[in-house]
Every structure is written in structure tokens, then in C-alpha cells.
Amino acid sequence: MKLYSFDGVDAALDLLPLAARRALDVAGLKLSLEAWRALPLESRRTLVELGASSAVDLEGVARLLLPAQTTPIEALIEPHAVAVPAELSMMFGPARPISAALWQALSPLDRYALLKVASKGNPERMKAAYGEIVGHSALSTHLSPAGGARMVDVAQKAASLRQAIAESRVTMNSDAFARVKSATVPKGDVLGTARLAGIMAAKRTGDLIPLCHPLPITSVKIDFSYQGDDVVQIEATVRVFGRTGVEMEALTAVSVAALTVYDMCKALDKGIEVSQLFLVEKTGGKSGDYHRPIRKGTGRRRKNQKGSKGTSFSAKRS
């Protein structure tokens, strides 16, 4: 049963909590305090649960309140789940920001509660509501209002096709590099093993990174290229049809693939260096596409760049 501390309603439900108010407003019904208190406690609890759900069951509310004395009112049209209402941002002001990402991460009841409290204009109540519903989440949606780490609820996001590409580089001495190119490393097939490791890592990202969601990945592709005479460059492309992106899956894939190259070649060079791990691009999702600009000193050479001196290939032996 969802009750807010700032609302001043306890488990006895002697007063009408915001969750119950949302159920009534969305159903277009008004209930006096006397009529509320006349309802059996179990009915009041049920109305609170209906109001806390992602979508209010209008028929359920009507059935529940059939014996009660209600007054018809104009039904509430709930705020858009993506765009922050301009009036809400204005009422809370710059000192209490609500970003679009945060707004989307809130539950429908949380959004209703913020709007309801703000519409009354009580500064102390607005401060308390913001602190309990938003709080530290204003800094990051991965923080709870109280400041603890949390996994963002993506249930309300629309599923779409998303893709992410990440890169990393492994630098080694000339002997180890030559052995990798000729597929004569004593430990075995370096790139083939690294490719499998990267694919497996992408699929297990949700187990490795605490706040990542387990995702139904549809594709993982690991490519390698030789840069100069001492660098193996690794690129991972991960795709998913889901409610959140796969940036972390792509980054995890190239990280583990690079570490596997290190493990396979460390007997030949103790000074192997894994470096320049970064996201190349991501597509899909509400935040839009991202393409990393070419930066001096990164050593990055894209396969479609003119003048690239690297040799590109998949995980097959050259």
C-alpha cells in the first residue's frame, strides 16, 4: 500500500491519501471525508492500491464505490509520461529541477502527487513532496530519493530497436603482435577465444554491473583490426529490441574481449596494455542517437575512414 510520509496519512487510513485521490480523480468521482471514513477499511485499502497502479482500473473503482455517496466531477487527464509539464517546472523552480529522464522514471502516482501538491502552492508541502519523491534522484535516476543506489524502472518505456558500438585497444610488443597475426600464440586461437568471451560477456552484463537490466540481446558482433605494428583494435556491436539501451553491453563486450587477448598473450609480453575503451555510437531510444566525434590522440581509426592504415577483419584467423 503506497502512502507518502509528507501526506500525513497512516495505515489506519482515517484521511484520504494521495493514491486514493488519484483513483477518484481519474474516475471522475468526488468522495467526502465522511463518505471515505464510512467505507470499510478493506475497501479503502483497495482504493489506495487502485490509485497506486500504473493505470487506474476505472471499472474497479466504480464497483468499489457503488454503495458510497459520490459526486461526479470532470475526470482527470493524466500528464504525459515523457514531457515534464511546463507549469510543474515553473512551480518547483530551478532550485528543485525535474529532468525529462527523471520524469519518465517516476511512477504515474509520483507524477500525480507532484502535480497535486504543486497545484495547492503550499511551499512547505512542496518541499517535503519533492524531497520524498525526487530527492537525490535529481542528480541521477540511478539514485533513490534518499540517496541509495537503485535500478531504474523501464516498464513504461516503449520497446524499440537499439544498437551500441564500443571499441578498445590492446597494445603489445612486436613479437606477441606477430604471433597474434600469424595465429601461432602457444595458448591457442587468440581472436577466436576473445570473440567468444566478448559475446558471453555482453549477455552477462546484467550480472556484472549492479544497476544494468538483463536484456534479451538479439545480436553481438565482435570485430578485430590490426593497427600499426603493435595494436589489436576491438569493436563490439550489440543490438536489442527492448526498453533500454545496450551501451553497457557493448562496453563490457570489448572490455572482456581485450582482457582475453591479454590473458592469451601475457606469456609473450608482461607489459601488454589495454586502453582507450569508449562508446563509438548508440542509436535508438528516447534520448536519441549519439556518435562520438573523432578526437586527436585517441588512435581511433574507423573502418570507413579514408586513409586508414589498419587491417580490419572479423574474428576469423587471418
Our answer to whether residue 110 is catalytic in this structure is: no
**What is the pairing mode between strands 160-171 and 273-283?**
antiparallel
**Bridge partner list, 234:** 168, 224
3-state SS of 64-130 is HCCCCCEEECCCCCCCCCCCCCHHHHHHHCCCCCCCHHHHHHCCHHHHHHHHHHHHHCCHHHHHHHH
Contact 235, 222 (CB under 8 A): yes
Give CA torsion, residues 41, 79, 104, 143, to 10 deg: -50
Distance of CA 26 to the CA centre of its chain: 28
Q: Among residues 258, 164, 142, 286, which one has the least CA distance to residue 217?
A: 164
Q: Measured between alpha carbons, how far is 257 from 171 in angstroms, rounded to an integer?
A: 13
Residues near 131 by beta carbon (within 8 Å), at least 6 away in sequence: 6, 145
For 56, what's the count of Cα atoms within 13 Å in the CB-facing half-sphere? 27
Q: Among residues 234, 226, 142, which one has the least CA distance to residue 179?
A: 226
Residue in 57, 153, 189, 263 annotated catalytic: 263
- Residues serving a catalytic function are 263
